[in-house]
Amino acid sequence: MERTVMEENKQRQIKGVRISTVNMVMILISCILYILLISATVRVSGRYEEVHNSMEDYIACEESSALLTDGSAYLTEQARLYTVTLEPEYMENYFTEVYDTRRRETALEQLKTYYDGNAAYEYLLEALQRSNDLMVDEIYAMRLISQAQGYDEAGLPEAVQSVVLEEADQGLSKEDMVQRARAIVFGSKYQEAKDQIAASVASTMESIHEITHQKMLDNTAGLASMMAMQRRLISILFVETVATFIMIIMLIIKPLQVHVNCIKEEKMMEVTGSYEFKYLALTYNDIFEVKNANEAMLRYQAEHDPLTGIVNRGGFDQLKTMFRMNQIPMGFLIIDVDKFKLVNDGYGHEVGDQVLKKVAKLLKEGFRATDYPARIGGDEFAVILPNMTADLSAVIEKKIMELNHTLLHPDDGLPQVSLSVGGAFSKSGFTDDLYKKADEALYEVKENGRCGCRFYQEQ
């Protein structure tokens, strides 16, 4: 009940921004900004893809127009070569282009994919039709050459076989037939038809250029708009990130530094920072006050051995309880004065008491101010070593050797004595088996001649 009242009073005292609330707000803002940014990025990618596709379409259509032009020019070239050289292979090349290669038809099919029903497609279709019309004259000229050369009718292409010469041409001599064929494919009428084909192809390219240019303008404008939106979102995200870091510094890092310094200086924490840190500081301060009071009480009760002036058995037990709750690495030593009974029997109890005082004084002076030497029996001592790890065992062994050297070479008239020491380490405070492990190590020292120090080793 009392604890609940204290908690309520503590909460009423605290005023501050909650980290959890700030965190949720920042996460929400970040999520919204990231979603908008991803959306803008996707739209930018889409616009870029449209621009890219427009260029690809333009290049493809340009290639299609060039393909029709090349195909038509190739037919003209082969027809003219046939009339000039009279070699049948040129006629064969001509009809290979017409029936197999079919570059003109392929060009029209490709353009239809992009501009079906558009003016560009109509212009190219017109160019193909003009080229087909021109083929009539070219095939007629081939018929004249074939007949003038007397080629076998059956060996001629079907299109040439089906041509019937005009009545005026049938009576021409072979030389005149050749001249007539050349006049057809090299004449002004033929060239005019070729110019019309070129004009239709040029109109196709002009139409494609206009359409592509308009697409590029539209897509570029859309791309610029999306990129401007992207820049704005990135700027907002940058500001939000900077604000987040500033709040982290003000609400978390700075209070942490203050609290760490307070802990290092072993003083009460300043109540600063966010709500959570203020609550932590007040709670720590309560614990700090209780801890100081408990430690003062333990130290007071521990200094009551009337003979040696060090911690007695009762204080030792309280220290064990305290270090069971304090989960820190530590060491523990059990120390026996070797053959102390002989000193008592041989020199008397008064001398024996002087020896015990000397041992207690050496233990206090030989170990750190933060260590706890204690007398836990008649001639039995112990030392609790907080914040001590096994890698420092050699330092402890050296210290015990120095103590034994002092006790074995007395300069105060007291008899020689030595210490047998057994030690053990724990990573998590004074565990239940720490005393047992140290006692086992002490047993080994006694079994091996006494006057020494050993630490418990896991089997």
Q: Can you tell me the distance from the alpha carbon of 319 to that of 302, in angstroms, rounded to the nearest whole number?
A: 9
**Structure tokens of 284?**
């720590």
From the list 169, 353, 379, 391, the catalytic residue is 379
Strand 419-426 with 330-337, pairing: antiparallel
Per the annotation, the verdict on 379 as an active-site residue is: yes
Nearest to 322 by CA among 348, 292, 286: 292
Task: Report whether 452 contacts 445 (CB < 8 A).
Answer: yes
Query: How many C-beta neighbours within 10 Å does residue 294 have?
Result: 12
Residue type, 311: V
Residue type, 110: Q
Q: Chain-centre distance of CA 157, in angstroms?
A: 70
- How far apart, in Å, are the Cα atoms of 155 and each of 5, 86, 152, 427? 117, 15, 5, 106
- How far apart, in Å, are the Cα atoms of 307 and each of 276, 285, 314? 50, 38, 15
Phi-psi region of 273 (alpha: psi -120 to 50; beta: other; left: phi over 0): left
Nearest to 274 by CA among 14, 26, 27, 24: 14
Alpha helices in 303-339 (DSSP H): 313-325
Query: Edge-to-edge strand order for the sheet containing 372-375?
Result: 372-375, 380-386, 330-337, 419-426, 452-455
Task: Report whether 185 contacts 83 (CB < 8 A).
Answer: yes
Q: Which residues are known catalytic residues?
A: 379
